[in-house]
A and B are shown apart, each in its own frame.
Chain A
Amino acid sequence: GQQVMQIPQYQHVQEGEDFTTYCNSSTTLSNIQWYKQRPGGHPVFLIQLVKSGEVKKQKRLTFQFGEAKKNSSLHITATQTTDVGTYFCAGSSTGNQFYFGTGTSLTVIP
């Protein structure tokens, strides 16, 4: 099946520092979605990227889709304690079935 890897697996940052997680697929993707899962919660949709080289911003979050559509990144500027959680990318090569990455668990130290 489709393989979607994320690095790092864990990240601890001081509040106010930046954070980046990277997502890599073994196959070319049709689109990629990003989700956030708070501890004890369920994944919540953040954004979808479709176009090669696409960059989207949501306040302090910046999402990028690679030119080859095989990788993506999520960057958070000036982290806050509310950013705590696990961030997952979910890629699809068909636009239909979405396969989740391994996730990056973010801890923000006040």
Chain B
Amino acid sequence: EAEVAQSPRYKITEKSQAVAFWCDPISGHATLYWYRQILGQGPELLVQFQDESVVDDSQLPKDRFSAERLKGVDSTLKIQPAELGDSAMYLCASSIRQSNSPLHFGNGTRLTVT
């Protein structure tokens, strides 16, 4: 079964450094999501893409976070500079279409900021 690929699996960085996460959705999935999940909480939507366009980034802290999906396939989420409060699991998900479709999640990137 096709999967959403994410890398790295784990990332440890010092505060004020820059970090980047990569996601490759399931082939043919037009919609891509980045979620942040703090331990013990539900995933929080950061940004949603439809093909290469941003559909929703209202919850993305734009002073330090950026996301792109230049060719409408894989995506990168960047944090610069990282803060202690950014420590969390960053989950990428994709769906075949924008509306009423199941989300398929990757294994996530566990970020620890020291």
Contacts and interface: CB of A to CB of B under 8 A. Distances in A.
B70 interface: no
A98 B48 CA distance: 10
Interface string A19-50: 00000000000110101000001111100101
A52 B45 CA distance: 25
Given A33-B103, A42-B105, A48-B100, A100 B43 contact: yes
A103 to B, nearest CB: 5
Contact of A48 (B41, B58, B102): B102
B22 to A, nearest CB: 16
A80 interface: no
Interface string B34-70: 0100000111110010000001101100000000000
Nearest to B56: A97
Interface residues of A, number: 26
B105 A98 contact: no
Nearest to A101: B42
A110 interface: no
Contacts of B105: 42-44
Contacts of B33: 98
Contacts of B104: 45
Nearest to B41: A102
Contacts of A31: 100
A42 B107 contact: yes
B110 to A, nearest CB: 10
Nearest to A89: B42
A38 B56 CA distance: 28
12 contacts: A4-B42, A6-B42, A42-B107, A43-B103, A45-B104, A94-B99, A95-B98, A96-B48, A98-B45, A101-B42, A102-B41, A102-B42
